[in-house]
Amino acid sequence: MALFAQHGHGKSDKIDAALDLGAIDGVVFGARSEKLENIETCVKVVRAKNGQIVFDPQFHLSTITPANDRHLPEYPYYKAARTAADFVGIKKLESYVKNTLDFELSLQPDRLISPTVIFESFGSNWYQTALNLADASLDYHAGMPAAPPLLLSFVIGEQALGSRIELEAFLDQVTSWENVFGVYVVISREERSYSQIFDPERLANALYMSYVLGHINGLEVVNGYSDFCGIFHRAVGSSAFATGWSQGLRQFHKRAFTKQKPGGQPPKLRYTSLPLLNSILLSELQQICEVERLDDALSGVTLDAVITAAESPEDSDWNQPTSELHHWECLHRLEGELSGDVAADVSGIEEKMTEAKELYVSLEKDGIVFGSQTRSNHLDQWADAVSKLRDVITL
């Protein structure tokens, strides 16, 4: 499986271009951002390019109020503003599961994704609802002849990852079910702006979840909206991860799916630097160029040619579509370097983090000023998370 595009608003030709470039291996379609009348054609186009297909029904948005659900009301399984009362009774759950999985099956994806709800803690009623939906999905899927494998979907609030004891109970539950093929996991992030920072304790527990489910129990784990952290998940046992073109599709934030007042500034141009393990601003790459350190920060992928063909980054034809494709190309290269040996892959990422930290220090000594969301803080947090993970597993 490997790297998937997280589909969303403003698709244009981004997915086609990424598949043609070989920068992604497939697509996680989001129902919210595609008209019902168009979704079948979109799936066929990806299949014609030999891309793998997963369809996220985004059923979980039905419990957000007021939801920015765009095209979701067109889909037969979706209803806005569901409350806890709408999930009382097995017959209701069975109908939600049937309507959702039957629709997905009509698209003939490579994997089915179960309907779920967002939960903020493992002790909440919504958590129990998520388990009930997963259980009902397993039962219904067992009676679907010739159906694709089912991924049990869980959208977990980041704060829930603060307790490994509660996480262990969740993992015990998932692995106790019979005939579980895999899971589709999305972490609902708390950080409001796009950056690579992630609380070390929570990140360590998120990785532990992928390790237990994927490496130890042999389940297929797909991590949605995981961006750079998807590399860590793949290293410890996940089968695939997804990230999108926009910053809102690279990480999951509930506010992106809640109706907001119109406005806001267009995103600044970015460049994904593999040596820095970060998506930095083009203006920061320009600074690096001006101190004659450009080669140290370049990622070494084909789309770097847009930068190197010009006098400087800001003089180049770098634009938003190119930046988006480049980001996928970079993450795909990182993913391609993984061997499947957990110990070796984790050690390899640790080496890259050390080198990235040293490069940051060197560039800052040369006068490069990074912004609050692009400086090296994430590297310390990642290193701390891996250290915490090593404390609980054997690598």
Q: Name, in order, each residue with C-beta under 8 angstroms of 294's C-beta and a sequence gap of 6 or more.
A: 285, 288, 307, 313
Cα-Cα-Cα-Cα torsion 173, 174, 176, 178, nearest 10 degrees, comes to 140
**C-alpha–C-alpha distance, residues 10 and 321, integer Å:** 11
The token pair that represents 356 in the structure block: 């990235």
Query: What does the pLDDT read at residue 263?
Result: 59
Cβ atoms of residues 204 and 389 within 8 Å: yes
Helices 342-365, 229-236: inter-axial angle, 10-degree rounding: 160
**Tens of pLDDT, residue by residue, the chain (395 residues):** 799 999 999 999 999 999 999 999 999 999 999 999 999 999 999 999 999 999 999 999 999 999 999 999 999 999 999 999 999 999 999 999 999 999 999 999 999 999 999 999 999 999 999 999 999 999 999 999 999 999 999 999 999 999 999 999 999 999 999 999 999 999 999 987 899 999 999 999 999 999 999 999 999 999 999 999 999 999 999 999 999 999 989 999 998 898 876 656 778 999 999 999 999 999 999 999 999 999 999 999 999 999 999 999 999 999 999 999 999 999 999 999 999 999 999 999 999 999 999 999 999 999 999 999 999 999 999 999 999 999 999 88
Cβ atoms of residues 77 and 96 within 8 Å: yes
**C-alpha–C-alpha distance, residues 238 and 71, integer Å:** 30
| Alpha helix stretches (DSSP H) within the chain | 14-21, 36-48, 90-107, 125-142, 164-176, 200-210, 229-236, 247-250, 282-290, 294-297, 305-308, 320-336, 342-365, 377-392
For the beta carbon of residue 183, count every other beta carbon within 10 angstroms: 24
Give me the phi and psi of 67, to 5 degrees please: -80, 140
The token pair that represents 273 in the structure block: 């630097």
Query: What does the pLDDT read at residue 256?
Result: 86
Domains contained in the chain, CATH given: 2-257 (3.20.20.70), 270-392 (no CATH)
**C-alpha–C-alpha distance, residues 141 and 101, integer Å:** 8
Cβ atoms of residues 83 and 69 within 8 Å: no
Q: Which amino acid is at 332?
A: H
Alpha carbon of 242 to those of 87, 194, 327: distances in Å?
Answer: 29, 16, 12
Give me the phi and psi of 270, to 5 degrees please: -125, 160
Between strands 270-273 and 278-281, the pairing is antiparallel
**C-alpha–C-alpha distance, residues 284 and 46, integer Å:** 35
